[in-house]
Amino acid sequence: MLCARACLRAWGPAGAARPLLTPRALPLTARCAPLVRPLLTTPRAAPLHSQMRQLLKRGTFTLMRYTSANSAPQKTSKAVGYWLLSCSGMVFVAVILGGVTRLTESGLSMVTWKLLGERLPKTEEQWQEEFEKYQQYPEYKLKNKEMTLSEFKWIWWMEYGHRMWGRCIGAVVLLPAIFFWARGYLNKGMKVRTLAYCTLVGAQGLMGWYMVKSGLEDRFQGPSDVPRVSQYRLAAHLSLAFILYSVLLAGALKVFRAPPMNAAYNFTLSKVPELKSMTILAHTAKTMVFLTAVSGAFVAGLDAGLVYNSFPKMADRWIPDDILAMAPTLKNFTENPTTVQFDHRILGTLTLTAISALWIISRKKTLPPQARLAVNALGTMAWLQVALGISTLLMYVPTHLAASHQSGSLILLSLAVWLTHEMKLLRLVPK
């Protein structure tokens, strides 16, 4: 009864609302409710029955509303964060599958494209029909005339797996996005980012088919030509994948590594002179990792990794004779295999230098454990990535090493995104 009277004093006579029932008073109501409810069924509680019923009804409602307003966004953020992290993981796998598909020269085995997926051959007649479609295009006519049906099935399954995985990514991005949007799980900023995610996924799928079409066109003139997709479209396809992966990962980091909440609930970026050099180098390293990966797409598109398989010199020369053999000069940077490989070497070296300098500078700074771990991991991965690249080159681009090298570039980009996020947290101060 003392609990009941305390609740009544907080709520007021006859259930009249008072300003006394603030969020601070609500825990008292919550503690009283289990003790008061049994009293409502006893005859002695009759005089208080009406007032207490209103108290419990209103008090419980107010408590639930207060609790949901503070705890629901946290749960929602975690759900959205796990969704974004899952999507970024699937994009990571898609990049690996795409690299293996390119290295095994399986990308041109499927000569049609449908939004929801191509028909899966089930009988030998259907497989033969699919093989006959492939035989009408340049890759078979100029390169694979001796291919058997069983060999064709293997490269077809490689491309089919890559495409279907891409469609799964589209579903995993789009369907939860609709659910979260409809249920109010997304704030204004996340809604804008979600629209960007969906747009990038759609653009990535269309660019994939646009890239494959370039290898199916009748633009290969003689037996010496090697049917392949356009290196420009391959670079665009890979760049979109890296951008999509980066923004998904950054979105997940915004959820799981958000700034600590306090009474202000508002933060602003503040210039910290001691962190200026590290911040600039961290963003520079992230940009250079991306540009080096894009240059790697041109290397893959032109098979430039098979031109000069020595390091650090290229055929006993620091600068080979045919580096600018094409006219006009600018054409060499995207169409001359020698120049493309040379550029990739230079970009890789500059990226390693920037990350190493970043690590050295970080040793003189006082950093929290997460930022320290990020910069150490980035520095270690940079050296491992360079070692993988050199090994791939010296061993004439074996599939397993080349796929590892491409995966390493994505891991390196992940660590750079993580570090820049940690640097941003160090510059956040309450308003």
**Rounded mean pLDDT, 127-135:** 95
Does pLDDT of 140 surpass 50? yes
Length of the chain: 431
Whole-number pLDDT of residue 165: 96
Backbone angles phi, psi at 97, to 5 degrees: -60, -40
Instruction: Report the alpha-carbon distance of residue 103 to residue 234 in Å, rounded.
Output: 13
Does pLDDT of 23 surpass 60? no
Whole-number pLDDT of residue 21: 37
145: Cβ–Cβ under 8 A, 6 or more apart, which residues?
Answer: none
Percent of the chain's residues with pLDDT above 70: 78
**Rounded mean pLDDT, 386-411:** 95
Whole-number pLDDT of residue 129: 94
131 versus 63: the higher-pLDDT residue is 131
Does pLDDT of 39 surpass 60? no
Q: Return the closest-CA partner of residue 14 out of 44, 46, 55.
A: 55
Q: Note the pLDDT tens digit of each residue in 46-85.
A: 444 454 444 444 443 333 333 333 333 444 478 999 999 9
Q: Note the pLDDT tens digit of each residue in 170-229.
A: 999 999 999 999 998 988 888 999 999 999 999 999 999 999 999 998 887 766 678 889
Pairing of strands 267-269, 428-430: antiparallel
Q: Note the pLDDT tens digit of each residue in 144-157.
A: 999 999 999 999 99
Q: At what angle do helices 399-426 and 46-103 cross, to 10 degrees?
A: 140
In the chain, where the domains are located = 2-59, 76-258, 260-431
Backbone angles phi, psi at 135, to 5 degrees: -70, -10
Q: What confidence tier does 260 reach under pLDDT thresholds 50, 70, 90?
A: low
pLDDT winner (highest mean) among 256-265, 312-321, 351-360: 351-360
328-362 burial, b at 16+ Cβ within 10 Å, e below that, comes to eeeebebebbbbbbbbbbebbeebbebbeebbebb
